[in-house]
Every structure is written in C-alpha cells, then in structure tokens.
Amino acid sequence: MIGRVRALSLALAALVVAPPSASADDGLEDKIRAVLPTPDEERWAGIPWQTNLALARRTAQAQGKPILVWTMDGHVLGCT
Amino acid sequence: MNDADVVRAVCKDFVPVAANVWSIQAGEAEQAVWFQTMAKRLFAAKKLESYLEQYPTFQGVYVAGADGTPYELLGDYEPASTLRTLAAALEDFRNKPPGPCVITDEQIARAAPPRVDPTTTVIRLHYRCRPLPLGAGAINASVSRDHLWIHAAEVRSLIELTAAARIAVLPRGLALRLCRFHLLDNVRGMADPFLAEEVQRADFVVRVLGERDGVRRLALGGDFRSEKDYPGDLNYRGKVGVEGLVDGELDLDLATARIVRFRALAVGHAWGANSNTWGQPRGGRFPLVIALVDVDDEVARTVPPMWLGFGGY
C-alpha cells in the first residue's frame, strides 16, 4: 500500500515539474511519418482535382478540353 | 489513377473533377442532373443498362464535354487500358467536339462544395495494415484516408478542463465520434461505422505537458475497442472489430481556442470483413495503424468526414 502511494506520488510529481513545451514522445513524429503516404503513393493527389463541377465545365470549355469525372462511393479526395 | 503516365495524361489533356457519387448520381441539383444525363447516355452507348440494374451506382471514371456530350467510361483501372481509353476519348472529343454551353457565375456559386466552419479543426487520418502479414493480398498494402472534425466548442471544453486539472478526460462526444466513425479498418476502403452501443471502450485522457507563449501542449492517450456482430445479416461474415491504443500530442492556442498542432498514432488490430472492405488478411486479427495529423489545405476545408450526417456525427 505504501509502495503504491509512493509510486502515485512520484508520478504526480513528475507531471508537476515537466518543463513547458516538452514532448511526451520524441519519436512520435517519426512513427507518424512512417504511416503517411509516400510521394509515389499519392501521385494521384497531385492532379489538380476540381470539386466544383460547374466551374470545371466552364474551365473545360475555355481550355478546349474534355472533363474527366472520377466519382466513387465516398469522396475520392477523402474516404472511399 | 496513381500511375505516373496516367497522372501525366490527365493533367495535360483533361479538366479533372473528383466527387462523391452520392452527391451527383441522384437529386435535382443542376450539376447532378448534368452528370446523371451524361452517365446514363454513356451506359446506354456501352450497352451497360443491365449492369446498372444489378449495381445501381454510377461510380466510375467518365470523360465528357462541358455540354454533357459523353465520350468514354473507364472499364477498369489498369494503367495500360486506362491510357488507351483516355486516348480514345481524346480522339473522340477532337472529332466530335461538344457544343457551346453557358455556365453562369450563379451556377458556379450554387455548385461550390460547402466549406467547413473556419473555427473547426480538421484532422486527416491515414490507415495502414502494418506490419503486413505474410500472404496478405496486395490490397492490404494500401493507405487510405479520412477527415475528422473537432469543433470549437470541444476545444474550448478541453481548454477549460485542462485549466482546472493537469489530467482530464477527453469530451465524451469527441471520444465516441473518434471510435464510431474514425478508428475503423479503412485500409481496403470505406469501413462501416459502429453504433454507439458497439463501442466497448473509448477511454481517452489528456495530460498537460506545459504551456508557453499562450499555447498549451497536451499529451493524448487512449484505449479503444469496438465490435459489431450481425449474424442475421444476409452477407454475414463474422464479427467485425478494432481495438488498440492511441498516443499523441496536441497544442491548444488559448487565445483563439484553436488546435494548432495535432499528432497522434493509433496502433492495434482489426478483425472481420466490413460490407465493402473484404480481402482482409487471413487468420483472424491483423495489424492496424492510423496516423492522425492536423491539416488546413483546400481538400481539408471542402471534403467532409466520410460519415458526416450519419446519426451521431
């Protein structure tokens, strides 16, 4: 019982004296970066996708180009 | 659509549009009617009406003129056949150009996607199955994404809670929303969300790490488990669930009540096959990692969370 109280006190003391702006996990950014898409995995995201179909139609007309519409269950640029 | 040659062709010769099929394959909004008319003409031209009867969805990749003249519908997403179809569409477009049409500023304004409230923080989530189990199908090597919204009121609540105590429980609404709609096995596509009663653990705690220049840094820790089981479902394939731990940090700007930095990682396991995400690794449980990062680009402000509008979001 005394041991558990001491352990809790030490844990609380550590919280109080933590320096400002300290990070809890210096490796967090690296771990997150490892999960994010690589440039090769996100080539499709570099296409200048429009999300306003009317604006795309006007642009296509002005540029003399056809429209390519990619539409899926869920937004293509989000979760699909 | 990720092949370098396809990307190059699309950028050079087309005006590309991305959309959620739910917003354009039904309804009477002007641009939805334009799309439906064009898509039906393409399906008829390709004699695919029976396909539509069996799979009533207009998901796909279309090439059309601004006036709605239909040119091509991609049959598959293999790079070689995609390039051939795009080339054929381009030739067709040049041989039979579309007619003129008027698109007014008002139509453009009406068609603009809604933008998220500027006070809302947008978190982008990326999902992977890692480490990839031996023998897992290629689709399990995918990386997918979604957006999470954290509302200003929830941020203000966090500021108040952590002003009063160095350790605080994440607001329940946010914790449940995270578990129901975002801590999912989205790796192979859009997973089904959980009902509130299917969330068995949604324990998230924040701890104050420090404060400087009006910014309070919090550590975030969490423990989650959700599972659904519908044995009466016609397509029942067993229980579907996720569980894991979350570690992260967030910075709160106390003056503006905004989250100015959010980094978190969920590491755990998933099991079962969702309605649209079969093909999971065999053997029961498989790894799931989810990265959560704050974003503020145009996609973040205009593409909502997958399950926005679904009960409880």
| Pair of tokens at residue A50 | 């429009």
> What is the reported pLDDT for A3?
41
Q: How far apart (Å, rounded) are the C-alpha atoms in residues A60 and A48?
A: 13
Beta bridge partners of B168: B206
The segments of chain A whose pLDDT lies below 50 read 1-21
Q: Which residue out of A51, A59, A63 would a mutagenesis test of the B interface target, given it has the greatest number of B Cβ atoms within 10 Å?
A: A51
Angle separating helix axes B79-95 and B4-13, nearest 10 degrees: 20
> What is the reported pLDDT for A21?
47
Q: How far apart (Å, rounded) are the C-alpha atoms in residues B191 and B188?
A: 8
Asked whether residue A66 is domain-assigned, the answer is: yes
The segments of chain B whose pLDDT lies below 70 read none
CA distance B267 to chain A (A): 10
CB A79 to CB B144 under 8 A? yes
Peptide bond into B171 cis (omega under 30): no
> What is the reported pLDDT for A45?
93
Asked whether residue A34 is domain-assigned, the answer is: no
CA distance A75 to chain B (A): 4
Question: Which residues are within 8 A (CB) of B176 and not within 5 positions of it... i.e. 6 or more apart?
Answer: B196, B199, B202, B312
Asked whether residue A50 is domain-assigned, the answer is: yes
Q: What is the pLDDT of residues B89-148, one digit of tens each?
A: 999 999 999 999 999 999 999 999 999 999 999 999 999 999 999 999 999 999 999 999
Domain count, chain A: 1
Q: How far apart (Å, rounded) are the C-alpha atoms in residues B184 and B9?
A: 34
CA distance B190 to chain A (A): 5
Q: How far apart (Å, rounded) are the C-alpha atoms in residues B188 and B139?
A: 6
Kindly list the residues from chain B whose CB atom is less than 8 angstroms away from the CB atom of residue A40: 2
CA distance A74 to chain B (A): 5
| Interface ipTM | 0.89
Kindly list the residues from chain B whose CB atom is less than 8 angstroms away from the CB atom of residue A77: 18, 299, 303
Asked whether residue A71 is domain-assigned, the answer is: yes
Q: For B265, which residue in chain A has the nearest alpha carbon?
A: A32
Kindly list the residues from chain A whose CB atom is less than 8 angstroms away from the CB atom of residue B86: 68
CA distance A3 to chain B (A): 22
Nearest to B16 among A15, A18, A68 (CB): A68
Asked whether residue A70 is domain-assigned, the answer is: yes
Q: Which residue has the tokens 């909502």?
A: B304
- Among residues A69, A37, A39, A65, the alpha carbon closest in space to that of A51 is found at A69
Q: Which residue has the tokens 């679904």?
A: B310
Q: What CA dihedral angle connects B132, B137, B143 and B147, to 10 degrees? A: -110
> Which structural domain range is residue A76 located in?
46-80
> What is the reported pLDDT for A76?
87
Asked whether residue A30 is domain-assigned, the answer is: no
Q: Does A61 touch chain B (CB under 8 A)?
A: yes
CB A48 to CB B11 under 8 A? yes
Asked whether residue A21 is domain-assigned, the answer is: no
Question: Which residues are within 8 A (CB) of A8 and not within 5 positions of it... i.e. 6 or more apart?
Answer: none
Q: HSE (CB half, 13 Å, CA atoms) of A65?
A: 20
> What is the reported pLDDT for A26?
67
Asked whether residue A35 is domain-assigned, the answer is: no
> What is the reported pLDDT for B181?
97
> What is the reported pLDDT for B47?
85
Query: Quick one: CA dihedral B112, B113, B119, B124, positive or negative?
Result: negative
Kindly list the residues from chain A whose CB atom is less than 8 angstroms away from the CB atom of residue B3: 43
Q: For A22, which residue in chain B has the nearest alpha carbon?
A: B209
Q: Does A22 touch chain B (CB under 8 A)?
A: yes
Q: What is the pLDDT of residues B77-88, one digit of tens each?
A: 899 999 999 999
- Among residues B163, B211, B165, the alpha carbon closest in space to that of A21 is found at B211
Taking 3-state DSSP, the helix, strand and coil percentages for chain B, each rounded to the nearest 5, stand at: 30, 30, 40
Q: What is the distance, to the nearest Å, from the Cα of residue B165 to the centroid of all Cα atoms in its chain?
A: 35
> What is the reported pLDDT for A5?
42
This prediction has a pTM of 0.89
Question: Which residues are within 8 A (CB) of A48 and not within 5 positions of it... i.e. 6 or more apart?
Answer: B11, B16
